[in-house]
Structure 1
Amino acid sequence: MASAACCAAGPPVACDYTPKGTISKIGDVDTYFVGSGPKALVVVYDIFGFSPQLKQVCDMFAAAGFNVAMPDFCKGNPWPLENFPPKDRSELGAWFGTTGKWETSIRPTFIPAVAHMKEHRGAEVVGVTGFCWGGMIAMKAASLDPDAEGGVKAGGTVHPAMLSAELAQDVKVPVLIMPSGEDPDHLPVKEVLDKKPFGDKCQYRRFDDMHHGFCAARGDWANAVQATRAAEAIDAFVKFYTANL
């Protein structure tokens, strides 16, 4: 089910940006690649798929020294821009239960992406970053065995959707959680993570003056305040992954 903040935030914002990376395949999945090095990030976009904003985020991660892959998890079937916010939320719920479902759709793409980064792009350790719906997916990925195929060593999300204490129960690695002012209180999630052996490595920051989606496809970075907050979120990600990967 879509979160209220997700639907209330409105449609994506046009962004004039020329990406620095390239798109090639992991198996049959188009993937945006940028950067190099031993520390890799697999980026999970929001429901709108590839956007100039998130390609720019990937480029910023790469400029900070990370080896980045953003697969097309929706395989060319993101939620259509012209149908957001949806008049009938049940349609979006059906999308989450099919195209956007971790177990049957996203996980079979995510695990090969992690393996690809290690086998073909020189990564020694991999983390995951997710935006909006992708934040929930990032927490699912952070719940995999970190030492198994497809496992990650750290996870992070900004303005996550569908985050819950129940979801946090299974998390196995340190995570960074950065809700917007429109997102639910993250303290129930923090209470769960605080009890884990790595709880002191988890980090949290609220962007109370920002709307849900400000760091992804809904981000209007021509707005100086939004651009500043997005840069602050990226900086927090970079510091967190530098310390935990």
Structure 2
Amino acid sequence: MVNLTRPDGTIAEDLALSRRTVLIAAGYAAFDVGANAQPIATPADGLVTGWETLPGGLPAFVARPAGAKGSGGKHPAVIVVNEIFGVHEWIKDVCRRFAKAGYVAIAPEFFFRGDPDKTLTKLTDYAAIRVIVARAGNEQVMGDVKTTLDWLGGQGFVNKKKLAITGFCWGGAVTWMAAARFPELKAGGAWYGRLKGDPGTEGRKWPLEIAADLKAPVLGLYGALDKGIPVADVQEMQARLKGSKSSIMLYPDADHGFLADYRPSFNAAAGKDAWERLLKHFKANGV
């Protein structure tokens, strides 16, 4: 219900505010919800969806085609790595999109130790968000990826020879790092993940430093208008990937978060093209 905020009735700004409030209440990350966003809502019919608790207490949202369990059917699987806002409604929808395409999609809650009350989706203070995210160091995250890979390998509905990973923003960088770490992965898709950090940050390396170590081909999906990831960094990564099976697609009119249809930076054309390219990339590499 829209509340009238003035005697002469509701104006466009009132409706936009109401729309944003509705989306936040529905579980989208409050920090960057677009006032006029109309995010895709993928139906769960024909799917099995819900939370699983992996070893070590790691929570993970899973979406998969119905009928796979107990039917002898095995599906390729993809690990979906969240943005800095954790596993919120948009990440769940991405999992459902993958499941509709025939994948078992799993989104681990990498920040659950530092955010046991799941406050990330409600926070609008970027500094507070960064404090929580920083608690998940690179080695811990890589350990959680390993836990997820092991769990997938033990499920009767998963083809353990067909495993991929994709991630967004924070998760885009994780995707590059995981592809250099785990030979179980056959393909990766890195959406606008940071490629370079400050020297010594978290005592870790960054994607540009491990480009030669990739064990799985990664498709990078980046926007030239991204203010946080200079085009020069993308071009440097492209140069380091030359001659390998990995590559980067740079969209000239896209900004950071261009696939995220709940954000103001959503770019429908770039998002559609990139999603189709990612699915082709997975299939071309046997996933």
TM-score, normalization by structure 1: 0.78
How many residues get paired?
A: 219
What amino acid maps onto 1:189 in structure 2?
M
The answer to whether residue 223 in structure 2 is matched with residue 194 in structure 1 is: no
Partner of 2:93: 56
Pairwise CA RMSD: 2.7
The 10-residue stretch of structure 1 (208-217 or 60-69) with the greater mean CA deviation from structure 2: 208-217
Which structure 2 residue ranges, 5 or more long, are not aligned? Answer: 1-30, 66-73, 197-206
**Which of 225, 240, 243 is matched with 2:281 structurally?**
240
Q: Secondary structure at the match of 1:114?
A: helix
Q: Contact conserved, 1:43 with 1:130, CA < 8 A, in 2? A: yes
TM-fit CA distance, 1:122? 2.0
What is the rounded CA distance, in whole Å, between the counterparts of 2:179 and 2:220 in structure 1? 12
Partner of 1:173: 216
The answer to whether residue 59 in structure 2 is matched with residue 26 in structure 1 is: no
Q: Secondary structure at the match of 2:186?
A: coil
What amino acid maps onto 2:123 in structure 1?
E
Give the number of the structure whose alpha-carbon radius of gyration is greater.
Answer: 2
Partner of 2:158: 122
Q: Secondary structure at the match of 1:50?
A: coil
TM-score, normalization by structure 2: 0.67
Partner of 2:258: 214
Residues 1-245 of structure 1 mapped to structure 2, 5 A cutoff: 11-13=32-34, 15=39, 17=41, 20=44, 21-27=49-55, 28-36=57-65, 37-75=74-112, 77=115, 79=120, 81-86=122-127, 92=130, 94-99=131-136, 101-103=137-139, 105-120=140-155, 121-124=157-160, 125-146=162-183, 151-163=184-196, 164-181=207-224, 182=226, 183-185=229-231, 186-195=234-243, 199=244, 201-216=245-260, 219-220=263-264, 226-244=267-285, 245=287
Which structure 1 residue ranges, 5 or more long, are not aligned? Answer: 1-9
What amino acid maps onto 2:147 in structure 1?
P
TM-fit CA distance, 1:60? 1.5
Q: Contact conserved, 1:54 with 1:217, CA < 8 A, in 2? A: no
What amino acid maps onto 1:33 in structure 2?
V
Q: Encode CA deviations 1:193-243: one digit per residue, 9 max, x unaligned.
A: 224xxx1x223211222221122375359x7xx234322222111111011
Q: Contact conserved, 1:61 with 1:238, CA < 8 A, in 2? A: no
The 10-residue stretch of structure 1 (69-78 or 172-181) with the greater mean CA deviation from structure 2: 69-78
The 10-residue stretch of structure 1 (13-22 or 160-169) with the greater mean CA deviation from structure 2: 13-22
Change (3 A) 1:106 1:217: farther
What amino acid maps onto 2:107 in structure 1?
M
What is the rounded CA distance, in whole Å, between the counterparts of 1:123 and 1:40 in structure 2? 7
Q: Contact conserved, 1:143 with 1:172, CA < 8 A, in 2? A: yes
What amino acid maps onto 2:213 in structure 1?
D
